[in-house]
Amino acid sequence: MIKINSNYRKLQSSYLFVEIAKRVAAFQEANPATDIIKLGIGDVTRALPPSIVSAFEAGVQEMGQDESFRGYGPEQGYAFLREAIAENDYQSRSAQISADEIFVSDGAKCDTGNILEIFDHDIRIAVPDPVYPVYVDTSVMSGRTGTMQDGRYQGLTYLEGSPENGYVPMPTPDLRADIIFLCFPNNPTGAVATREQLAAWVDHAHKTGAIILFDAAYEAFIRNPDIPHSIYEIPGARDVAIEFRSFSKTAGFTGTRCAFTVVPSSLQGVDAEGNTVPLWELWNRRQSTKFNGVSYPVQKAAAAVYTEAGQREVRAQIDYYLENAAIIRSTLQDAGYSVTGGTDSPYIWTTVAGDSWDFFDRLLNEAGVVCTPGTGFGKAGSGCVRISAFNHREKVEEAMRRIRPVLG
C-alpha cells in the first residue's frame, strides 16, 4: 500500500468546530423554537459593496467578448492590481514596497501555509498562542514538529499571550527561532501591536537572523492612528519580514477569494553551500510553478477596493462591524468582564470564570447564543472565549439582550 505523509497523523482532529456544531444541533433539537444567534464565526456577513460588484461584472463582460477576452494572466497578479496595492496600502503609509514585490493570490490562508516550502526542513518555528490555527497545523503537516504532548506540539516554540501582556507576546533575548509568525490585529484575541512592540520584534529578527511572517488580514479594522497597519511601517522591516494580506475580511471577499503576499526584494536566505539567495526569487519560482493566478474578474473587483467609491464603501462596511464590536465589548465590560479587542478588530476576547466550554454551554443553553471556546486557538486560550462582530446589527443587539442576564 502507498505510504502516507505521517505528519498528518500528528494533527489533532478539528475537534473544536465539530464539537460546537454537535452541541448547537442538540440544543436546537431540544429547543426548536429558539432562534440561535451565532457569534462564533470568523466569516463576514455583508454583501460585496456596489462599486466592487460593478467592477466584478465588467470583468466578466470583458471575458465574454473575443476582443477583450483574457486567458492565463501573470502568475504574480495583474500590474493594475499590484500597482494599486503598492501605492494605497504601502507607499501612502511611507512603507517602501513596490508593485513587483507583491504576489496576488487566492488566499492568505494558503499563502501562510505554502510559504514554509521555501525554507529548509530543519528551521525552528515560533507561533503565538492563542492564534489562528493554520500556522501550527501547516508547520505540523510539513514535518517541522514532533507529536502533540500536553496540548503542545514538540519542537514548536509558543509565544504566550496572557492578560498580563495584553495578548501581545514580546521577544525574549533567549528566543531562538528562524521563523516567527505574528498576527495583528490578532485572531482570536483582537489585540493590536503598537509601533514600539513591532519595532522590538523587527530588532529581534535583525539580531537573530529570524524571518517574521506577519499576517495583517485584519489591518483595515485599525482605527487608532498610532497603530501600524503594516510591519513595513517599521524601519528595517523590509530586511526581515514577509507580510500577508487578504481582501476576505477587509472587503467581504471570503467567498470571492483574493489576497496578496509581500516578499521584499531585500529579504535574503542562505543555501546549503552558503550562497545568499533572495527569498523573492524562491517565492516567485514557487508561484510560477504551482499557481496560475487569480481570475481576471476577481482581480478587477479587488482593484475597485482602491477607487474612491470602493474605499468609502469598504470603510462603511468595516465601521458597521466595528459598531457591532463596540456593542459586544461594552456589554461584557458593563458586566465586569475584562476584554481584549473589539476596538481595532472584529473580535472580542474575554476571560471567563472557569472553563471555556462551561461558559459556551451557558451562553448556548440560557441565551441561545454561540461563541467560540478559546481552547480552539491554543492552550493559552483555555478559560477564554472569542465573540465575533460579524453578524447583522439586530442579531448582535438581540444576542446582547439575551446574554446580559447570563453574564450576571
Contact residues for ligand PLP (CB under 6 A)? 42, 107-109, 132, 183, 187, 215, 217, 246, 248-249, 254, 259
Residue among 44 and 199 whose Cβ is closer to ligand PLP: 44
Which amino acids are annotated as binding site for pyridoxal 5'-phosphate, given as ranges? 72, 108-109, 132, 187, 218, 246-248, 257, 292
- Between the alpha carbon of residue 344 and those of residues 90, 92, 186, the distances in Å are 19, 20, 10
As measured in angstroms, the least distance from the Cβ of 135 to ligand PLP is 9
Determine which helix (DSSP H) or strand (DSSP E) holds 251, and give its type and residue range: helix 248-251
As measured in angstroms, the least distance from the Cβ of 215 to ligand PLP is 5
Residue among 82 and 400 whose Cβ is closer to ligand PLP: 82
C-alpha count within 13 angstroms, C-beta hemisphere, residue 273 = 2
Residue among 132 and 407 whose Cβ is closer to ligand PLP: 132
- Between the alpha carbon of residue 5 and those of residues 115, 137, 140, 143, the distances in Å are 19, 14, 11, 9
Interior/surface letters 321-343, b for 16+ CB within 10 angstroms, e for the rest = bbebbebbbebbeeeebebbbbb
User: What DSSP letter does each residue of 296-323 carry, written as one string?
Assistant: HHHHHHHHHTTSHHHHHHHHHHHHHHHH
As measured in angstroms, the least distance from the Cβ of 321 to ligand PLP is 13
Determine contact, residues 263/103, Cβ cutoff 8 Å.
yes
As measured in angstroms, the least distance from the Cβ of 205 to ligand PLP is 20
Residue among 248 and 375 whose Cβ is closer to ligand PLP: 248
Q: Considering only CA atoms, which of 153, 152, 213 is closest in space to residue 183? A: 213
Residue among 113 and 269 whose Cβ is closer to ligand PLP: 113
Question: 365 phi and psi, to 5 degrees?
Answer: -75, -35
Residue among 131 and 211 whose Cβ is closer to ligand PLP: 131
Interior/surface letters 58-83, b for 16+ CB within 10 angstroms, e for the rest = ebeeeeeeeeeeeeebebbbbeebbb
In the beta sheet, which residues pair with residue 211? 179
Torsion sign across C-alpha atoms 245, 102, 99, 206: positive
Instruction: Indicate the DSSP class of residue 290.
Output: H
As measured in angstroms, the least distance from the Cβ of 30 to ligand PLP is 32
Residue among 145 and 250 whose Cβ is closer to ligand PLP: 250
C-alpha count within 13 angstroms, C-beta hemisphere, residue 379 = 13
Return the residue nearest ligand PLP (CB atom). 107
Tracing cell 462599486 back to the chain, one arrives at: 51
Which amino acids are annotated as binding site for substrate, given as ranges? 15, 42, 109, 132, 187, 292, 386
Residue among 42 and 278 whose Cβ is closer to ligand PLP: 42
As measured in angstroms, the least distance from the Cβ of 326 to ligand PLP is 20
Which amino acids are annotated as binding site, given as ranges? 15, 42, 72, 108-109, 132, 187, 218, 246-248, 257, 292, 386
Q: Considering only CA atoms, which of 152, 224, 167, 135 is closest in space to residue 351? A: 167
- Residue 199's CB is within 10 A of a number of other CB atoms, namely 18
As measured in angstroms, the least distance from the Cβ of 251 to ligand PLP is 11
As measured in angstroms, the least distance from the Cβ of 294 to ligand PLP is 11
